[in-house]
Amino acid sequence: MATGQFPLTSDGTIDWNFVFEDPADGFVPDIQNSDTPDVLRRKAIHIAQTLHTRDGDELRLKKLLSWIDSIVPENADDTKKLPKMKESILKLVRELKIERINRAERFVEERNNTSRAATSERRQTDKTNGTLNATKKPLKNSFYVLAVVAIAILAYIAYGI
């Protein structure tokens, strides 16, 4: 599943529970169905690469690939160790799931806070001429602050106040 194909939740973020846990296409069942260390390794690498495609993800991806390599070394063929390898990779994948869910929740919270701040600011705008109500937020517009400071300086120079 490519990131562009991930299903969305009602708040517009990716449905990470579905992406990770869907019985047909989820990352967790895919890892659980790995029958050799090589298949497990390839699937784990694919998941890491799928989730880390943005600019700035390179370091995180490199770290994940290093962890995967330490859990399932290249050319690992000892099927006796496969259950322990799966367990470790599943733990890593579930940590990625929790991380993604938390990031999505923070995104929604920040978006909602930004929306509330914008709504609050709009409500404080004078509806008659579209200017900010100076009694409610006198320091909001830097132009007015500069004008007041300039007038105060001129008054001080002219009148010695």
Coil vs helix vs strand at 69:
helix
Pair (152, 113) in one structural domain: no
Please report whether residue 23 resides in a domain.
Answer: yes
Residues 101, 54 share a domain: yes
Same structural domain, 105 and 40: yes
Q: What is the pLDDT of residue 90?
A: 98
User: Is the separation of the CB atoms in 145 and 139 below 8 Å?
Assistant: yes
Please tell me the total count of domains within the chain.
2
* Whether residue 26 is found in the same domain as residue 80: yes
Measured distance CA(143)–CA(130) in Å, rounded: 16
Whether residue 102 is found in the same domain as residue 32: yes
Q: Do 92 and 160 belong together in one domain?
A: no
Within a domain: 128: no
Given a cut of 80, whether residue 147 has pLDDT beyond it is no
Residue 129 in any domain: the answer is no
Model confidence over 60-93: pLDDT tens digits? Answer: 999 999 999 999 999 888 889 999 999 999 999 9
* Full domain range(s) for residue 11: 3-123
Report pLDDT for 103: 95
Indicate the range of 7-16, 62-71, 108-117 predicted with least confidence.
108-117
Among 100, 7, 9, 119, smallest CA distance to 47 is for 100
| Residue at 50 is within a domain | yes
53, 20: one domain: yes
